[in-house]
Chain A
Amino acid sequence: MMPLIELKNISKSYSDGDVETPALSDISFAIEQGEFVAIMGPSGSGKSTLLHILGFLDGQTKGEYFFGGKKMGDYSKEELAHVRNKEMGFIFQSFNLLPRTTVLENVKLPLFYSKIKESSWDRIAMDAIEMVGLAHRANHLSSQLSGGEKQRTAIARALVNSPQVIFADEPTGNLDSKSGGQIMEFLEKLNDMGHTIILITHETYTAEYSKRIIHLKDGKIESDKKVDHDHRRRGKDHFMK
């Protein structure tokens, strides 16, 4: 079977005038449909850059990126936006909810840019909100929510278009450990439902929820290992404390 995501010798460098700063060099890996992958590394290791490339938010300098078997360079700008809308969900460290807007409206936002009929938006959005257990908060403004609830809203927003892959960029970074644990449980549940999850983190205990960990260092892959069952247990124990 064709992998969902395949990177071939991806490099990325930022140029600031004459100085070239490499962020990623020669990255190659593949992710199959239904995987739960954590990308780890210290700050400056290039993990955010990698996520941006994977999420079609940025382009690479060198190499080839295939998503669903199609080369990224073959997509037009409009098509990239449509793929982001339909096949990808994003969860950010800082939630990125619209201020002064209700939970329901926030979750509906991706539907606005989709081809789904407006008459079914409310139902689809409510299903997603119920899934993250926020039905009672649907009409609250995003500013009235706790950190954990905000991130659950963001998760509902990420899965409202039932995307193939969900990118989570340090989703527990701004949360206390209890809420953080809840968020990780949700991601695990989504993975069980068949969504591919790509998690960016620098915390080992968060990464240990995943089934595979890719370590980055100085823009290169340091290691790429499957997580055994015991380690997965350990990540959960951290949050249970």
Chain B
Amino acid sequence: MTIGYTFKTAVIGLKTHKSRSALTILGIVIGITSIILVMSLGEGMQNLILGQIQGQVGSRVIEIAPGKQPKGPSDFMSMFSDSLKQKDVDALSKKGNVPYLSRIMPMVFGSESAAYGNETYQATFYGMTDAAGSMYNLVVDRGRFLAEDDVKSYADVVVIGSKVKEELFANNENVIGEKIKIKGKNFRVIGILEKKGASLISFDEAMFVPYTTAQQYILGIKYFNHIIIEADTDEHVEQTVEDIKRTLRNTHDITGSEEDDFNVSSQADALEMVGTVMNIITLFLVAVAAISLLVGGVGIMNIMLVSVTERTREIGLRKAIGATEKNILFQFLLEAVILTGLGGLIGIILGSSLSALMAFILGKVLSLDWQFAFPLSGAILGFGVAALIGLVFGLYPARQASKKSPIEALRYE
């Protein structure tokens, strides 16, 4: 008895009932297709989101927020506490405290309506410094970005996002130098940002003013909402996070991490968190798809049982001329595994084609930067699971076949 010939026998067995075999594996095909689809789309979505985060904020950027790391709804309000002050910025700026710091920027933000003539627009405003331009990859379309002098002199200047420009000025293109009113105070427009499109932080709908001006004239506060720090190299990010924590604990007279009234997060943390969340979602969807595989497996078992009954004579004959129970078991098991394996293969091809099509549609229609990702791990997993299902659900019918008594089988009409 040889594997090759057994394989051939099994294929012939399946070929004789083509339409039945095709219907049998439909459940497996659908299951594997959805798993591949979910995994591929999940990966594509993850790449898209991670790409946006990385594209928006440099990987060396570290964010310090007030309050401790929010762990529940009650912690949320602490994000707006006033624990970050100028003395923190001063302490962090010292080379002795944070040696790998390349730039530091205090930041305040809020939401305020801006007015020009009769037009008003509710926009997010950010109080920043000139460093924000490079830290957040902001590209100025016309005019200029905030300068160091603007910050020092509490200048009444504003850089606006493309959406803000459209809302307030419509088609009027002579915007630079015009004055818009924010909280009763006139701000001179010095720059318009290039349109960024859909992204996590909507810079198109934001206004940028010197943080000094924002603190003094818009918010009336002395503290900062965030402090942004850029490390000199990617390798030093982790060390810098530690240095920042140590420095702030020192200035805030805090002894242990439990009492922290600030939290420090790097780009890597954010990426990791998004990745984890996306993986959980993908896993959940895969689990749902796996249920259809289970249903498909039961279908296989059902059909194999019918097939075993139908082929009682064949089994009897094979036993009479010398097939052992093992031979018969192996033959029927192989048929089940070939069926499900084939279903898995079709599912992988179908799932990949569908997700490639989806990637194309998302890219063209929604103009997202969506890359088709062939989920190799998903394909291997899918094929393995399909074969395993054949093995598990084929075992019972194959055992039934192998246990048939040859005389009863030969008598069967």
Contact = CB atoms under 8 A, between A and B. Distances in A.
Tell me if chain B binds chain A: yes
Given A52-B407, A100-B16, A118-B4, A110 B314 contact: no
A92 B2 CA distance: 27
B407 A90 contact: no
Interface residues of A, number: 27
A15 B407 CA distance: 16
Contacts of A82: 322, 324
A82 B322 CA distance: 6
A77 B320 contact: no
Interface string A78-102: 1001101110011010001011110
A84 B12 contact: no
Among A57, A58, A78: residue with most chain B CB under 10 A = A57
A112 B320 contact: no
A100 B317 CA distance: 15
Given A96-B313, A118-B2, A110 B407 contact: no
Contacts of A161: 322
B323 interface: yes
A90 B4 contact: no
Contacts of A57: 319-320, 405-407, 410
B1 A112 contact: yes
A98 B323 contact: no
21 contacts: A55-B320, A57-B405, A57-B406, A58-B405, A58-B407, A77-B325, A78-B326, A81-B322, A81-B325, A81-B327, A82-B324, A85-B321, A86-B322, A90-B320, A90-B321, A96-B313, A96-B317, A99-B16, A100-B16, A110-B322, A113-B327
Nearest to B9: A112
4 shortest interchain CB distances as A-B pairs: A85-B322, A113-B322, A81-B324, A110-B321
Interface in B364-413: 405-407, 410
Contacts of B320: 55, 57, 84, 90, 96
Nearest to B320: A90
A144 interface: no
Nearest to A92: B410
Interface of A: 52, 55, 57-58, 77-78, 81-82, 84-86, 89-90, 92, 96, 98-101, 109-110, 112-114, 118, 157, 161
B249 interface: no
Nearest to A83: B322
Contacts of B4: 118
Given A101-B12, A113-B1, A118-B4, A96 B322 contact: no
A113 B407 contact: no
A89 B317 CA distance: 11
Given A96-B317, A98-B317, A101-B12, A84 B407 contact: no
B324 A78 contact: yes
B292 to A, nearest CB: 32
B322 A114 contact: yes
Contacts of B317: 96, 98, 109
User: Which among A58, A77, A98, A110 has the highest number of chain B CB atoms within 10 Å?
Assistant: A98
Contact of A84 (B5, B321, B405): B321
Given A81-B322, A96-B317, A112 B410 contact: no
A54 B363 CA distance: 74
Contacts of B327: 81, 113
B318 interface: yes
A85 B317 CA distance: 11
Interface string B316-358: 1111111111110000000000000000000000000000000
A14 to B, nearest CB: 11
Contacts of B326: 78
Contacts of B407: 52, 57-58
A72 to B, nearest CB: 15
B318 A109 contact: yes
A101 B2 CA distance: 19
Given A52-B407, A118-B2, A84 B322 contact: yes
